[in-house]
């Protein structure tokens, strides 16, 4: 049973549907690799997954986690040690990405001073939009439980609310009766 008060688990409902037919998938903040592993375990044959992170520690942890699991041999996983805004602009050439995921904030178990920043996240989204396939989806988990996280969530919400309705469907999911500003989920679908 999915915990509907958990943004990370809730987004799995969306991912599961998309992964049945996805050919290109990007984890724009791969962290310790748990989301990338989840996607890789559900990837169809010949799917290409990208894992991006600005921290070498995160890339190493993700590589190690995925190497420890048995995955389909015909799924390609490419790791990019870079900021998500730069990687989505320069390194990823496909213009038919089916799913892009972001899990904002800091690396669990890492230096909490190294966090995603609204400027870079919004720039990454701007770079991602032209590369997203028709009906392609972006999911973003934001963590408003810290002042920095709240600021990022607010800037992200403002930016996403201004997207043209005829080009994108945008939804914002958040628990209504939970304390301590739990994680929130933004969902963007290209029309």
State residue 91's pLDDT score.
Answer: 86
- pLDDT tens for 139-180 read 999 999 999 999 999 999 999 999 999 999 999 999 999 999
Q: What angle do helix axes 34-42 and 7-19 make, rounded to 10 degrees?
A: 30
As a whole number of angstroms, the distance between CA 87 and CA 130 comes to 14
Which run of H or E residues covers position 65? helix 56-67
pTM reported for the whole predicted model: 0.96
CB 44 within 8 A of CB 71: no
Where residue 103 falls among pLDDT bands split at 50, 70, 90? very high
For domain 25-111+121-190, give the fold: Rossmann fold (3.40.50)
Distance, CA of 56 to CA of 151 (rounded, Å): 26
- The torsion region of residue 80 among left (phi > 0), alpha (psi -120 to 50) and beta comes to beta
Find where tokens 């320069």 sit: 90
Q: What are phi and psi of 50, to 5 degrees?
A: -115, 135
Q: How far from each other are the two terminal CA atoms of the chain, in whole angstroms?
A: 30
Cβ proximity of 76 and 40 under 8 Å? no
Going from N- to C-terminal start, the domains of the chain cover 25-111+121-190
Please report which confidence band the pLDDT of residue 3 belongs to, taking 50, 70 and 90 as the band edges: confident
Tokens (6 digits) for 133: 């396939």
The answer to whether 137 touches 99, Cβ cutoff 8 Å, is yes
CB atoms within 10 A of CB 162: 8
pLDDT of residue 33: 97
Q: Tens of pLDDT along 6-29?
A: 999 999 999 999 999 999 999 999
């Amino acid at each position: 049973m999915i915990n509907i008060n958990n943004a990370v688990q809730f987004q799995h409902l969306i991912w599961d549907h998309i992964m049945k037919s996805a050919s290109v998938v990007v984890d724009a903040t791969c962290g310790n690799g748990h989301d990338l592993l989840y996607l890789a375990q559900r990837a169809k044959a010949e799917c290409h997954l990208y894992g991006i992170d600005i921290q070498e520690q995160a890339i190493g942890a993700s590589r190690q986690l995925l190497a420890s699991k048995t995955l389909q041999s015909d799924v390609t996983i490419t790791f990019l040690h870079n900021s998500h805004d730069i990687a989505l602009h320069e390194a990823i050439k496909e213009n038919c990405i089916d799913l892009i995921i972001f899990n904002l904030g800091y690396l669990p178990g890492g230096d909490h001073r190294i966090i995603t920043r609204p400027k870079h996240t919004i720039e990454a989204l701007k770079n991602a939009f032209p590369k997203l396939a028709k009906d392609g989806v972006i999911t973003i988990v934001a963590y408003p439980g810290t002042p920095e996280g709240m600021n990022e969530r607010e800037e992200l919400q403002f930016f996403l609310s201004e997207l043209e309705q005829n080009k994108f469907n945008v939804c914002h999911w958040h628990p209504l009766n939970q304390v301590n500003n739990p994680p929130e989920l933004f969902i963007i679908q290209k029309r």
